[in-house]
Chains A and B, each alone.
Chain A
């Protein structure tokens, strides 16, 4: 049981490049989400999904796209990277029991630098 798996762990991009951060979970969780973590600002929600085919924006969605074609996978795409997107990115999932979101399971993070 791997839990939530994120790849890559580290990535350096040049301004304007695109890339996809991968996230997979093997717990059959309905809810999946992406956060970015910046010093002094905690975890801020980028996008989330409550099931396959359903995605929605969080607090800071600009510059990021997501899709949820399967229950297991929730990739985050940066279409044209900017230095402001330098951050640590975390994927998290949970089981929506009765529609209530409680315990989040986090991946180990991706440290992204945009030069």
Chain B
């Protein structure tokens, strides 16, 4: 079945700097890759996603890149702000495209 790895597990950056979180997946049949943000005491929220027929997608300060050949995808946050501090999860669709396999998460801290 699908396996998703995520690095780093923790990341601290200065406000205004960029942050990059990387994920790898094992199943070449996976075709949808969302990123979720979980703030303290809350459920996760979708922040950006990418499909396998696209190499890059951007939404304001957030971008995701996908390398199908290498089976990895990355989240890029530019001009980080304190409110970006949260746990970020990457995910990939499972064998049947119905459920998701999540990475272990990255705790991002943006220092003022």
What residue of chain B has the Cβ atom nearest to residue A106's Cβ? B43
Q: Is the CB of A106 within 8 A of B93?
A: no
B100 near A104 (CB under 8 angstroms)?
yes
Please judge, given known A-B contacts A106-B45, A108-B42, whether A45 and B99 are in contact too, CB under 8 Å: yes
B99: which A residues are within 8 A, CB to CB? 33, 45, 48, 58, 101
Residues of A in contact, count (CB < 8 Å): 27
Contacts of A107 in B (CB 8 A): 43
Select which of A41, A101, A102 is within 8 A of B104 by beta carbon. Answer: A41
A107–B100 alpha-carbon span in the complex (Å): 16
Q: Looking at chain B, what size class is its interface with the partner chain?
A: 20 to 34
Does A90 count as interface, using CB distance less than 8 angstroms? yes
Interface string of A91-115 (1 = CB under 8 A from B): 0100000011111111111000000
Query: In the complex the two chains form, is B89's CB within 8 Å of A43's CB?
Result: yes
In the assembled complex, B44 has its CB within 8 A of some CB on chain A = yes
Specify which of A40, A44, A50 is in contact with B9 (CB 8 Å cutoff): A40
Bound together, the chains give a CA A5 to CA B16 distance in angstroms of: 35
Report the separation of the CA atoms of residues A102 and B99 in the bound assembly, to the nearest whole angstrom.
Answer: 9
Do B34 and A45 touch (CB < 8 A)?
no
- Taking a contact as CB atoms under 8 Å apart, the answer to whether B104 and A42 are in contact is yes
Chain A residues packing against B (C-beta within 8 Å)? 4, 31, 33, 35, 40-45, 48, 50, 58-59, 90, 92, 99-109
